[in-house]
Amino acid sequence: MHITMDKEIIVIGDIELGAGTLTDDFISDEAISTLFIELSKKTHPVDLILNGDTFDFLKCPSELHPTKYARHITKKISLDKLNFMYKAHKPFFHALRKFVSKENKVVYFILGNHDHDLVYPEVQDEIRKLLHNFDNVKFPGLVYKKHKVYVEHGHQYDFVFRINLEKLFLKYNEETILNMPFVSFGFLGPMMRLKERYPFVERINPKPALLTHHQIVMKKINRKTLGYFIKSLIYYPFRFYSDPTYSAPTHMLREFYRRVKTKHLDIDNIMEIFKKKKKQAKYKIYVLGHEHQKRISKGRKKVIIHPGTWRDEYQFNPKTRELLPLTKRYVQIEVTNGNPEYKLVDVIVPRTIFDFDEVVKDELKFIQKAADEEHFKLYLS
């Protein structure tokens, strides 16, 4: 008996395209573009789900000369950032354009905490224009739910990165701006300058082990966080009393400070929180993002999958002092006769193992070396 596949579903999360600057941690245009083009050649229907944080609007500068990070994100600023990302990652956009140009090939952009700007209809339309397609480019919001498959980025289960869905925008100086989480507003100040000063550090995991062996950065993070925490309590409410972006509930400030104090700089284990909220096995396959690590939880009737990230990230081995490049992967789901079956597919990109102590001595050198190994051109002027 001949069995025909109804549809193939591909899920990729946490790509985090930036402007090609020191705050841009995505360098795998070549590998992901090759994948998009391969998917465009399939004869059956394909749903390509980019599961949140596809774009790193959060760490993308709003101006490049010199780098500037705007706090009040209007639709114009979001569009400017999108333009910078397009120029830095043209192969990504061109390959995706080829994918959606084919019959029955649809891309879905799920909302994440780094690409909150996608709530602007004007940003959505501009992405459709860049991809030369208005029919096969979808923005379903937080969730994709089809064919017994449930896909969500997962930041809504992380206390400090949760978006207020009932109040997506704020009014400031007679303009509409994004209502981002308090922690996101905090990133747009001194933390971005720290990221530019130490561009490689954020790519290294796990964070507690990293900061134990990188005391300089740990002290600077603690100092800047403590300063922001104190100012948010006793200075900002008076200095910027008419600015809603400086308003933060006390419990949020406490949680933000607790995480830094305990070196809990990684995100929450959202899988356990998700399980409690999604007890009914209505779907067979659940795919989450947000956590930049591979994780699978299998039950009798369902499976929950974290495929990991497509950022340039490394696993730190304290014993050998080596930084091991993390493997990129995606979830491939084949739907046949209404029944979905999944597998995780690794994308092998030849990379060098770096020495942690050498990286700490000259982070810019190794940022450039990593980019060269994946044939990505950095914007460093």
Alpha helix segments (H runs only) across the chain: 29-40, 75-88, 90-100, 121-130, 182-186, 192-197, 207-212, 215-234, 236-239, 250-261, 270-277, 356-361, 363-373
Average pLDDT over residues 123-150: 97
Q: What band does 143 get if pLDDT is binned at 50, 70 and 90?
A: very high
| Adjacency order of strands within the sheet including 143-146 | 143-146, 149-152, 285-288, 303-306, 295-298
d(CA 363, CA 217): 12
Other Cβ atoms closer than 10 A to 110: 27
- Predicted pLDDT of residue 193: 87
Q: What is residue 253's predicted lDDT score, i.e. its pLDDT?
A: 59
Tens-digit pLDDT profile for residues 161-185: 889 999 999 999 999 999 998 888 8
| Phi then psi dihedrals of residue 166, to 5 deg | -85, -10
Residue 266 has pLDDT above 80, yes or no: no
Phi, psi of 175 (to 5 degrees): -120, 155
Angle at 10 between CA 52 and CA 95, to 5 degrees: 80
Q: Which of the pair, 299 or 53, is modelled with greater confidence?
A: 53
Q: What is the mean pLDDT of residues 210-225?
A: 70
pLDDT at 206 over 80: yes
| pLDDT for the residue 280 | 59
Q: What are the tens digits of pLDDT across the range 273-324?
A: 787 776 556 899 999 999 888 999 998 889 999 999 999 999 999 999 999 9
Q: How far is the C-alpha of 324 from the C-alpha of 353, rounded, in Å?
A: 5
pLDDT band of residue 230 (cuts 50, 70, 90) is low
DSSP string, 188-251: IIIIHHHHHHSTTGGGEE-HHHHHHS-HHHHHHHHHHHHHHHHHHHHTHHHHTTT-GGG---HH
Q: What is the distance in angstroms between the CA of the first residue and the CA of the last residue of the chain?
A: 61
- The pLDDT of residue 154 is above 70: yes
pTM of the model: 0.91
pLDDT, position 138: 98
pLDDT of residue 276: 76
Q: Is the pLDDT of residue 265 over 60?
A: no
How high does pLDDT run on average in the chain?
A: 89
The yes-or-no verdict on residue 213 having pLDDT over 70 is no
Structure tokens given for 266: 């990684």
Residue with the larger pLDDT of the pair 187 and 18: 18
Q: Is the pLDDT of residue 264 over 60?
A: no
Most confidently modeled of 258-262, 269-273, 302-306? 302-306
CB-based burial, 72-101: b 16+ in 10 Å, e otherwise: bbbbebbebbbebbbebbebbbbbbbbbbe
Phi, psi angles (nearest 5°) of residue 74: -85, 170
Q: Can you give the pLDDT at residue 268?
A: 62
> CB under 8 Å to 240, separation ≥6 — which residues?
246
* Residue ranges covered by each domain of the chain: 5-180+268-373
Q: What is the pLDDT of residue 166?
A: 93
Three-state secondary structure call for residue 51 = strand
d(C-alpha 361, C-alpha 369), whole Å: 14
DSSP three-state, residue 84: helix
In this prediction, residue 2 has a pLDDT band, given cuts at 50, 70 and 90, of: low
Segment 242-254 shows an average pLDDT of 71
Q: With a cut of 70, say whether residue 257 has pLDDT above it.
A: no
Report the pLDDT value the prediction gives residue 13, as an integer from 0 to 100: 96
| Fold for the domain defined by 5-180+268-373 | Purple Acid Phosphatase; chain A, domain 2 (3.60.21)
pLDDT the model gives residue 71: 93
Dist. CA 110–CA 131, nearest whole Å: 16
Distance of CA 358 to the CA centre of its chain: 27
